[in-house]
Every structure is written in C-alpha cells, then in structure tokens.
Amino acid sequence: MIPLVDIKAQYATIQPELEAAVLAVLRSGQYVMGSEVAAFETEFSNHVGGGEVIGVNTGTSALHLAFLAAGIGPGDEVITSPMTFVATVSAIDYAGATPVFVDIDPKTWTLDPARIEAAITPRTKAIAPVHLHGRMADMDGIMAVARAHGLLVIEDAAQAHGAEHGGRRAGAFGDIACFSFYPGKNLGAVGEAGAAVTSNGEYARKMRALRDWGMEEKYVHLLKGYNYRMENLQGAALRVKLKRLEAWTDARRAAACRYHARLDALGLDRPTNEGTGERHAFHIYATFVPDSASAPEAVRDGILTSLREAGVGAGMHYPIPVHLQPCFRALGYREGAFPIAERFGRTQFSLPLFPEITEEQIDAVCDALAVATGRQGLKR
C-alpha cells in the first residue's frame, strides 16, 4: 500500500527527538501557549523571512483572525479563488464579509491577477490568494492590482510552507499570511495548529489579543475574542519538524521531478514547469484526465478505482470548486461561472507525495497509473 501521505514514515525518521520534546512538555505542566510556542513563533518568523508570527490552534483560526485584524467585516467583499479548500472561504464568511470569486490561471491553478480588476467594486477590501498545492500565486501581479486599488492582501499559505516566488517565501508578500500545521500539511503538528504572519505591528497586536479572549492585560477583555490558543506540545513538535522542513521540501521536489518524467511519457498533464525564482513546495502532486474524454469525471473515477485496487492511495484536491459547494449556494454562483476552476475540478486527481517516498514507490504508482489509464482507453 502506498498512501497519499505517509505520516508514520515521517514519524519514524524523527521519533527519539520528537518524543523527547513532547515528553518534556508533558512533564512541564505548561500545556496551553508557553515557552515552546514562543520559541516556535520566533523560529517560524526566521523561516518565512521576517514578520511577527502569531501561533494559533488551526489554520482556519489564523485566517479568521487575519480578516478580523485587517478590519474586514459585514458589507466588505474579499476576492479569492474558487479552487481552494473550503476553509479560505469559510473564514471570510466568519468575519461577516462576502467572498467574491475570480477564476484561476490555467498554468498555475491559482488566482489569476488579470481577472481581478473586473471583480473589484466599491465594497472590495481585500484579495485572498491561495497558494494551491504548494505553488505560489503570481504575487507580483496580485500585489500590483492590490496597490493600484488600495486593497489589502491576505495570503492563504496553508499549503505552501517554504514555497517561493521571485526568491521570496510564501508569507512574505501579503499584509497578513496564514499557515496551517494540520498533520498532513508540509509542516505538520501532532494535532491541530496554525499561525498568522504579519509585519504590521497593529495587526499582530490585535491577533495576539483575539486568539486569547481579546485580552492584552489580565481580566480586561478589550476586544470580543476567541479561544484560538496554540498548545505548547504543538509548538514543541513543530520546532523539531521545522529544522527538517528545507530538506523535506527538497525531497518533495525531487519526487515531483521523477513524476514529471513519467507522466510526460504517459501523456498526462502535470504541474507546469516553474518560472525563475519560483519554488513549488509540492504539498500535492496533481495530474489530470484529458477534458476531451466524453465523461472526464467517470474516467477519473475509473482511474481512482484502479489505483486503489493496485494499493495506491490517490485523491482529489478539489473536485468541487467552492462556488458550487452546497453550503455557499446563497452566494448565488451557477455552474459555468468559472470555467477554468470547474474544468480543474472535473479532471484533477492527486498522486502519493511525501518527503520519504522512494523512487521505487513512485515507479510503482506510475506503473499502476499506466494500467489504469490504459483500462480507461486513454491513449498515450
């Protein structure tokens, strides 16, 4: 069995150090926030390339606090990508603002800066690009539109730890950037965790207060806050893993290279090559069935079934664009609104990718994929 993500394989490589770090927290009696969280915040700031880091309990909480701290609320519109995990859009909704979707760039599958201007209204307050699958959105293009229209930028970097654009890291562009440390992410806690990063002292101060019941001094709740605190144990685990993140990202990239060559031979679309200064962090390795197939979703289902039978754990990220999700029906978007995101949703599937994946495993996945596509009558 080759899983989509192998968290146990990673655990085995760091077991003694990770267990010692976690045990030390258990023995310390300091369980919520604490010295490990504070140290992690400093170390993660160095990783991103500066800014204040606010550790929280989930990536979704980081997004929620980011929108609140930026003063985004009811009556405001936030432009984002329909091709993302639902949490990006839910966080906009939690803040009381209205998500406005703009279609993706077919080359990078991230928010297309060329389409943003047409969606800007007097109510637009911010742009929230998503670095999907670990590939950064075109931040030069997005920052230029944002500056021209006086809009804030909140990066959803939940999948993009260590990714770069123009030689700068995910999290170093926006007014605030948000990361998730869900166990399956490129940097994963041993439970739930997340963080926001900002170089704006006022936003940082607000997010620190909001994550802990709106307190800046004990007993005084300046703002209506939340319990979004990070556990000390997660800080300790993340510190052990952060030291390895660079090497793990390189391993993901090497695995992706091997997949590229095999998929090109199979005639399947795969992530387009990086531009200069771009570093794809390969949270997800995506491939596609041809949209020319008469029923691409059925062809994809057949391939996923064949892969599963061959012991290969494949997935989809994401089959239903957020504008077509039942929970956001009230936003009023119809099928056909965002053809590129919708085509992506119909045709995309994900292959196993994690730092510890071996060349033999990648070859086995590709062999199984060759059989699966052959069964579906896809010709090379």
Ligand X SMILES: *Cc1c(COP(=O)(O)O)cnc(C)c1O
- Considering CB under 6 A, how many residues would be counted as binding ligand X? 14
Per-residue tokens: 211: 């994550």
Question: Is 86 within 8 Å of 59 (Cβ atoms)?
Answer: no
Candidates 6, 44, 58, 234; binder of ligand X (CB under 6 A) is 58
Nearer to ligand X, 84 or 373 (CB): 84
Nearer to ligand X, 10 or 84 (CB): 84
Cis before residue 226, ω within 30 degrees of 0?
no
Shortest distance in whole angstroms from residue 193 CB to ligand X: 7
Nearer to ligand X, 72 or 369 (CB): 72
Interface with ligand X includes 345 (CB under 6 A)? no
Question: Is 108 within 8 Å of 273 (Cβ atoms)?
Answer: no
Among 52-60, 103-111, 204-212, 292-300, which window interacts with ligand X (CB under 6 A)? Answer: 52-60
**Alpha-carbon 12 to chain mean position:** 25
Q: At 115, give phi and psi (nearest 5°).
A: -100, -5
Nearer to ligand X, 71 or 191 (CB): 191
Nearer to ligand X, 146 or 170 (CB): 170
Question: Is 149 within 8 Å of 124 (Cβ atoms)?
Answer: yes
Report 166-205 residues binding ligand X (CB under 6 A): 180, 182, 194
Among 96-104, 155-163, 199-207, 348-356, which window interacts with ligand X (CB under 6 A)? Answer: 155-163
Report 61-120 residues binding ligand X (CB under 6 A): 84-85, 87-88
Candidates 59, 162, 171, 345; binder of ligand X (CB under 6 A) is 59
Report 247-286 residues binding ligand X (CB under 6 A): none
Question: Is 190 within 8 Å of 277 (Cβ atoms)?
Answer: no
The residue type found at 284 is I
Shortest distance in whole angstroms from residue 182 CB to ligand X: 4
The residue type found at 71 is G
Name the nearest CA neighbour of 173 among 112, 131, 125. Answer: 131
Angle at 170 between CA 69 and CA 179, to 5 degrees: 55
Alpha-carbon dihedral sign for residues 212, 218, 221, 222: negative
Interface with ligand X by CB under 6 A: which residues? 58-60, 84-85, 87-88, 130, 156, 158-159, 180, 182, 194
